[in-house]
Structure formats: C-alpha cells, structure tokens
Amino acid sequence: MRWTKHGVVWAPSGERWWARKYASCPTPHLREDGALRLFVQCRDDINIGRVGYVDVDPANPLRVLKTSIEPVLDCGVPGAFDDNGVFQTSVLRMPDGRLLMYYVGFELCHNIRYRLLTGLAVSHDDGDSFEKVKTTPILERSPAEMYFRCGNFVLPRNDGGVRMWYVAGSEWEHIEGKAMPIYDIRYMESPDGVTWPEEGRVVLTVELDKEHGFGRPYVIADASGYRMFYSVRGRFPRAYYLGYAISSDGLVWTRKDDEMNLSTSVEGWDSEAVEYSAILEYRGRTFCFYNGNDFGGTGFGVAELQP
C-alpha cells in the first residue's frame, strides 16, 4: 500500500469546557444527510474524556463542516466503570436506523493503573445524541479477561447478529520502569449486539519480544475477504505504529504489518507515533483517519490510499 498524507483534519481550540485538548480515535460514520461524521474523544482540564464529533465533506475530508458544541456521550456517575472518561471505538447502523456506539469506560484503580471495559450507547437521531443502554458494562470482567475488554470494532451478521473484534487481557508488565498492559485481539459474536460471551477467541497474539498490546482493530469485509487495520503498542521505544492483517473468514489472520506503509513523519504532528487507524472507502477512494503524537494530543489527520 502507498499512502499520501493530507495532514491534520482537526484539533480542538481549547475553547469548550469538555474539549480543551485531544481528538482521539477518529471513528467515521456516513450520515443520512451526506456528511461524514467523525466521533472523537476530547478531554477537559483534568484529562477526563468525553465523546463529540467533527463533520467533514467526505469528498474532501480536510473541509470541516461542523463540530459538536456539547459532548454526545458523557462519563458515568461516581463509582461507575466509566466515571473517569469514555472513549468511542465503533459505531454500527442497525436495520431499524438506530446507531449503536461501543465505547471504552476508564476506571482508575489502586493496585493496577486502570481497568478498561466496554459500554454501549444508542442514538435515534443519526448520531446527534446518545443514551447509554445501561450504566454497567456490556463486556464485564471475566476470569479469562479480567482487566481489559475494550477496543471494540463490530460488523453486522447476515442473520441480524453482530460480530466483534476487540482487545482483551489479564496482565500487566513493567517496561522501562512503568506498568504497561498486555493484551491481544479476540473475536466473539452476539445475537443482538448487547449480550456477549464471557470470553472470546484469540485471533491475533502479541509478539512479546517487541510489543505488548494492540489498539482498536478496524475491519473491512468485502468479496475478497477481510482486512484488519490496527495499532501496535511497541516496547522499545514505547510508541504506537500501525499494523495490517488479512483473513478469508475473519477468524484466522495473517499479519502483514510491513505492507501497511503508513508510518511516522520526519517532523510534525505525527513524527513520534501513529495509531487508531480507521478506514473509509468512498466513491472509489480510500481514506485512513488516524492519530499521531500523544494519543491524539495533536489532533487527528487523514491519509489517502494511492492506486
């Protein structure tokens, strides 16, 4: 693959109380009005994240049309699994027109740094507002996936059910003196998108000699099979880079990270890391939205796949 980087699409100005900084994990959704909505997590003065959106022209993603004045998804009440922030990873349009937003809830802990579990919110107005399906996780802790059940990406099944690729794990490890999570990419299915098994099938395992985890997988399915775009959390240095894998069935994957070819720039907003890739195919063109340095601290940008 060959990509042309078009630069930063958007970064918060700092004027809004909930969006002082960061624009993390761009998650695209083509609206019924023709706009391309990118849901992003922004943070307030004390680093608590909430979900808002940036609308752009899908034919020219650098042309911003609108941004949300208030967040469309807020953090949870004190003591909830998402009381220290929310972080969207996947939006799915259901046959009845509802949008399902899968999101990560941040919970600070004492004996480990944090716990990341998955919540679900629904929209009846094409993404202008969301209501949480419940105040507890839809992916709760389980014996095999104790600390992390998050980073979800979902696709519909032909029978009305939902397929999910996500990251999960039950380990921490000290790397260069800092406790870091260990997790791989797993897979499971649900009849309704709400009720899920306690444990998924491992489909992409970390290579612990050089990496310790993955970021949100983004899966494209077509007649030729499945393509997965994901972030890799490297060990030395501790920075994200982008990976790529292919599969005939969405279950058995072959890693081809060296074919991704979308890496850091020599200088600028994405010179230290690239992560949280999301792919949009629009009228014969393929765009990759992604974050650069500091997990979205420099905003999010876009690159375009060349023939």
> What would the mean pLDDT of 39-48 be, rounded to a whole number?
98
Residue 239 banded pLDDT, cuts 50, 70, 90: confident
Residue 236: predicted pLDDT = 80
Fold of 2-306: Tachylectin-2; Chain A (2.115.10)
Residue 68 has a pLDDT of 98
Q: From residue 188, how far is each of 144, 152, 162, 185, 281 by CA, in Å? A: 14, 11, 9, 11, 25
The predicted-structure confidence for 170-212, as pLDDT tens digits, reads as follows 999 999 889 999 999 999 999 999 999 999 999 999 999 999 9
The tens digit of pLDDT for each residue in 279-303 reads: 999 999 999 999 999 999 999 999 9
pLDDT of residue 158: 87
| Inter-residue contact 301 to 9 (CB < 8 Å) | yes
132 pLDDT band, cuts 50/70/90, is: very high
Dist CA 139 CA 143 (whole Å): 12
Picking from 115, 167, 118, 160, the residue whose alpha carbon sits closest to that of residue 138 is: 118
pLDDT at 159 over 90: no
Q: Are 191 and 201 in contact (CB under 8 A)?
A: no
Residue 304 tokens, joined: 């375009």
pLDDT of 138 > 90? The answer is yes
> For the chain, what is the mean pLDDT?
96
Residue 245 pLDDT greater than 90, yes or no: yes
User: What pLDDT score does 62 carry?
Assistant: 98
How would you class 31 by CB atoms within 10 Å of its CB: exposed for 0-12, middle for 13-18, buried for 19 or more? middle
What percent of the chain stands above pLDDT 70?
A: 100
Residues 77-125: tens digit of each pLDDT: 999 999 999 999 999 999 999 999 999 999 999 999 999 999 999 999 9
* CA atoms of 300 and 261, how far apart (whole Å): 18
The confidence score (pLDDT) of residue 237 equals 79
pTM of the model: 0.97
Residue-wise pLDDT tens digits, 252-270: 999 999 999 999 999 999 9
pLDDT at 91: 98
Q: pLDDT value at position 58?
A: 98
